[in-house]
A = this chain, B = another copy of it.
Amino acid sequence: MPVLEDLYPSRVASVPQRTERRDPVVYGGGPARGRLGGVELEFFERNGYLFVENLFGTAEIARVNQELRRLARAEDIRRLEETITEPGSDEVRSIFRVHRLSQLFDWLSRDARVLDIACQILGSEVYVHQSRVNLKPGFRGKEFCWHSDFETWHVEDGMPCMRALSVSIALTQNYPFNGPLMLIPGSHKTYVSCVGKTPEDHYRQSLKKQEYGVPDNESLQRLADRGGIVAPTGAPGSAVFFDCNVMHGSNSNISPYPRSNVFFVYNSMENMLGEPLHGLKPRPEHIAARERFEAVKPLERG
């Protein structure tokens, strides 16, 4: 962690603060093979996200879904700490570290269509900080409140700078009404510090329902009034790349149509985790990878 100064303090003050982002959004250089053009990079820089329709094909996603169903049913997977169930049911809501639990998801995390973009934006080699599949069941999928990933990763994982991004790949059709990912464009340029202290082992609870690291309503209102709210929707295989500090969340899903997606979080190899803030103990490996800060190797095809 920064020895001299924490650029992004949070959960210390009793009132929230909004400060300007201190880091670039799109980093130059690195091993990028230039998959994105200038217009797309500029869009990502300004808005903090990029939606790519049909990044993966129907047949590929069908295979991924088959693998996901296998994992969600497998007793040895369900028993893991990596597997989170819906509040009040034993239905699987998320499986973390899925790229280590399944070869297919490992391949997916190393596929050039996502990896190249991550390297290009972050301007370096990257490693997988976190991976997970989310299954938002039909009829009773719960909402996920607004948050900046970076605020959590900074405080709870000791991630020094904003040099990480997520990609969410849709595994089911995303409709406006089945709880799609919502983002506030431009919000990644403001750091909203949250109030309150983080209790130990907060992560166990926070994966079901957040209480700490929750931005205040006034800040959210201001960000949304300025940037609006988008909820990109599309066919399975569509993907949203989004900056680590963009505000995002999702509404409930009472529709009959489940919403599943897979997330990979790529962090720059030049943005290694330090100690968590406030003397918190590190979160477990499946939430924030530390054991192997190992650059993702591009998948060799053939």
Contacts and interface: CB of A to CB of B under 8 A. Distances in A.
B139 A224 contact: no
Contacts of A175: 229
A249 interface: yes
Interface in A54-109: none
Interface in A119-175: 138-139, 143-146, 175
A254 interface: yes
Interface stretch (A29-37, A176-184, A286-294): A176-184
A220 interface: yes
A139 B220 contact: yes
A256 interface: yes
Contacts of A250: 254
Contacts of A198: none
Nearest to A231: B177
Given A139-B217, A175-B229, A251-B177, A224 B256 contact: yes
Nearest to A222: B256
Contacts of A217: 138-139, 256
A268 interface: no
Residue of A139, A221, A252, A253 contacting most chain B CB atoms (<10 Å): A252
B254 A143 contact: yes
Given A217-B139, A231-B176, A252 B252 contact: yes
Interface in A188-210: none
Given A176-B177, A229-B175, A251 B249 contact: no
Contacts of A231: 176-177
Contacts of A177: 176, 182, 229, 231, 251
A255 interface: yes
Contacts of A252: 143, 251-252
A222 B185 CA distance: 36
A226 to B, nearest CB: 11
Interface of A: 138-139, 143-146, 175-177, 179, 182, 217, 220-221, 224-225, 229, 231, 249-257
30 contacts: A138-B221, A139-B220, A143-B251, A143-B252, A143-B254, A144-B254, A175-B229, A176-B176, A176-B177, A176-B231, A177-B229, A177-B231, A177-B251, A179-B251, A182-B254, A182-B255, A217-B256, A220-B256, A221-B256, A224-B255, A224-B256, A224-B257, A225-B256, A249-B254, A250-B254, A251-B251, A251-B252, A251-B254, A251-B255, A252-B252
Given A175-B229, A220-B256, 19 more contacts: A138-B217, A138-B221, A139-B217, A143-B251, A143-B252, A144-B254, A145-B254, A176-B231, A177-B182, A177-B251, A182-B255, A217-B256, A221-B256, A224-B256, A229-B255, A250-B254, A251-B252, A251-B254, A252-B252
